[in-house]
Amino acid sequence: MSNLQIEQISCLSDNYGYLIHDPESGETACIDTPETAPILDRLAQKGWVLSHIWNTHHHYDHAGNNLEIKQATGCQIIGPAGEADKIPGIDRAVDDGDMVQLGAHKAHVLNVGGHTLGHIAYHLPATAHAFVGDSLFALGCGRVFEGTMAQMWASLQKLAALPRQTQVFCAHEYTAANAAFAATIDPDNPHLQQRIAEITALRAQNQPTVPTEIGRELDTNPFLRPDDANIRQHLNMIDASDAEVFAEIRARKDSF
């Protein structure tokens, strides 16, 4: 099985769209459709033909250009079953436990609801890639718009359980703002301090901080660390459950 080729495309003010291409089958999938022109331009530049759109959730900056891109390419659209009625042009609805393929490459669908109720992520175990939309961000997580805090925490635990070396392709460049918040929750974490320095340097040169890795997030992302003794002490929540500590961190970020 040949390696997948991945193109990261800056869209709108802070979105990332992704193309993944399997040279063996010639198939190409687009993860979400934040903008039409940059995605079609990149396809043309690479000489790739779009076979699929894989949507993560229904928000406009993720599925809003589905129809334009489908019309231009004739691709098939795969999206979350839990919000299929809100995914323009959807051909196949998938949910937790389903599998989608790009050539011989297999992506497992994870339900990571919370940001939206039906939000899904695509995990390709063989190549250690995960496309997570607005569920997990570098040093952050999605705002809980439609689901409950408990649902979001359960979703993040699924992502946290992926192998540490899994590359995580988030849908937004929110890392600098997330870093500023993380420092207020976990101020004594040396891994976080080092990472913030790296992020500051990258952003100063307008370089992306995405993709990230599960292992790095486990070490530094406060939303994946509600079990950490220092964070609990800092929040004065020593005896609370992980879900309660997560909910407190998410609530603080909402008003940060």
Per rule CB under 5 A, is residue 59 in the interface with Zn ion? yes
Q: Is 21 in the site for Zn ion (CB under 5 A)?
A: no
Closest separation in Å from C-beta 15 to Fe ion: 6
119 scored as a contact of Zn ion (CB under 5 A): no
Q: How far apart are the first and last CA of the chain?
A: 46
Stretch that binds Zn ion, among 57-65, 80-88, 190-198, 234-242 (CB under 5 A): 57-65
83 binds Fe ion (CB under 5 A): no
- Rule CB under 5 A: say whether 61 interacts with Fe ion: yes
Q: Quote the least distance from Cβ 199 to Zn ion, whole Å.
A: 22
For residue 103, the cross-strand partners are none
H or E stretch covering 160: helix 149-160
Selected binder of Zn ion within 22, 27, 83, 134 (CB under 5 A) = 134
Residues near Fe ion (CB under 5 A), total: 2
Rg (CA), the chain: 18
Is the separation of the CB atoms in 98 and 118 below 8 Å? Answer: no
Backbone phi, then psi, for 114, in 5-degree steps? 150, -60
Question: Considering beta carbons, is residue 56 or 166 the nearer one to Fe ion?
Answer: 56
CA distance 235 to 127: 38
- Show the tokens assigned to 71: 């019309």
8-state DSSP, 16: E
Map tokens 């946290």 to a residue.
Answer: 160
Find the shortest distance in angstroms from Cβ 160 to Fe ion.
Answer: 21
Q: Which residues bind Zn ion (CB under 5 A)?
A: 59, 134
Residues in the site for Fe ion, rule: CB under 5 A?
A: 61, 134
